[in-house]
Amino acid sequence: MKRTPLYGRHVALGAKMTGFGGFEMPLEYAGITPEHLAVRQSAGVFDVSHMGEFVIEGPDALVAVNHLVTNIITEDLEKVTYALMTDHDGKVIDDLLVYVTAPDNVLLVVNAGNIDKDFRWVKQQLSGMDVNVSDISDDMAQIAIQGPDALSLVKDIVSYDPSDMPFMTWKTLGEGPSRIFLSRTGYTGEDGVEIYGSPDVITDLWDKTLAKGVVPCGLGARDTLRFEANLPLYGNEIGGDINPVEAGLKFAVKTEKEFIGKDALLSSLASPVKKVVGLSLEGRGIPRHGYPVLFEGREVGHITTGYMLPTQDNPIALAAVDIEASKIGTMLEVSIRNRMVPARVRNRKFHQKNTKKQEVSS
């Protein structure tokens, strides 16, 4: 398994480590619950260096990326765009963030577990275009500082005040080897930043962040936070048989432009068969990824993610279900160790987002 530049820091902090996307990553330090609460109440820092980064450069860079992804990518050099890469059947290959660093240079940030698959796909699809594609994942580290106190702390750590930057924008700070990308983005539903840079620079920023008393958070809390904020995870809410329309990501699918998989997504928009819904459990149990969901005794889908969270009264879940079982208020059942537990379809706003602009709406 691969390790991020911060691996030694995690071990020294006593983190419980786990395999994720081919990387040995911290699952938790003090525990998922205190880490989750730290991000909701003050600030937490995550090592997200496992994420993959590709650069598409050349005269056709913007045309190329617009061909690859569902959202519209413009020459706007400050904007960060969330998008999906779909195949010809409209199935999700990955979800990603797109940064246009120059009119002929685009940075794609992809999921760790999909780096090799994505890179092959991108190279293959762009083979006829005047672009060069490179995988710079090993040269780029990344941390995320998230929570209501994050922006004021970041100001001291990077000597720049990010509070005037709108959500989903970014800027370059510094030059040469010390250059970083400061991005007003995140995966928690809280205010904060993600910072990209060389392994040495990011290691230094990690140390400075911890010295400020920011709580180190592992992938366990990263998942509970993104789930509570209704942010999709590839392999759970998207991917496999769940396309972006069914996942409720229509805002990132722009049918006024051409992209791979558009026709399939148009027919899904016209006659949807499945939908990712919120569930609130009305019996005892915790709905987990993969558990069957039933409607009137018939299996109609499965849990994509579910938890009992310290910030919620009931166990809650996201589930991909047939469209006829997706209406808010519908009573379903979740099969938990062969026990049928009642669950009601609800909206997916488990948590009121505290970012200045919503990144994903349901």
Partner 1 sequence: MIKEGLLYAPTHEWLKTEGTTAYVGISDHAQESLGSIVFIELPSVGQTFKKGDAFGALESVKAASDLYLPVSGKVLEVNNALEDAPEQLNEDPYGQWIVKIELSDPSETGTLLDHQAYADVATD
Binding residues for partner 1, rule: CB under 8 A, are 16, 27-28, 31-33, 36, 220, 224, 284-286, 288, 307-309, 315, 337
Nearer to partner 1, 16 or 120 (CB): 16
Beta carbon of residue 15, minimum distance to partner 1 (angstroms, whole number): 12
Q: Are strands 215-217 and 44-47 parallel, antiparallel or unpaired?
A: parallel
Distance CA 175, CA 194 (A): 18
How far lies 111's CA from each of 139, 206, 243, in Å?
Answer: 16, 21, 17
Nearest Cα residue to 303 out of 354, 233, 254, 245: 233
Beta carbon of residue 284, minimum distance to partner 1 (angstroms, whole number): 7
Beta carbon of residue 223, minimum distance to partner 1 (angstroms, whole number): 8
Give SS3 for 167. Answer: coil
The tokens describing 180, both together, are: 């970083």
CB 301 within 8 A of CB 237: no
CB 315 within 8 A of CB 308: yes
Sheet containing strand 132-135, strands side by side: 80-86, 92-102, 105-110, 52-57, 132-135
Distance CA 287, CA 118 (A): 31
Distance CA 353, CA 207 (A): 28
Neighbouring CB atoms inside 10 A of 156's CB total 12
Nearer to partner 1, 27 or 201 (CB): 27
Nearer to partner 1, 269 or 286 (CB): 286
Nearer to partner 1, 32 or 343 (CB): 32
Beta carbon of residue 241, minimum distance to partner 1 (angstroms, whole number): 24
Beta carbon of residue 220, minimum distance to partner 1 (angstroms, whole number): 5
The tokens describing 217, both together, are: 């958070």
Beta carbon of residue 336, minimum distance to partner 1 (angstroms, whole number): 8
**Residue type for 22, please?**
G
Nearer to partner 1, 28 or 191 (CB): 28
Beta carbon of residue 312, minimum distance to partner 1 (angstroms, whole number): 11
Nearer to partner 1, 103 or 290 (CB): 290
Nearer to partner 1, 46 or 99 (CB): 46
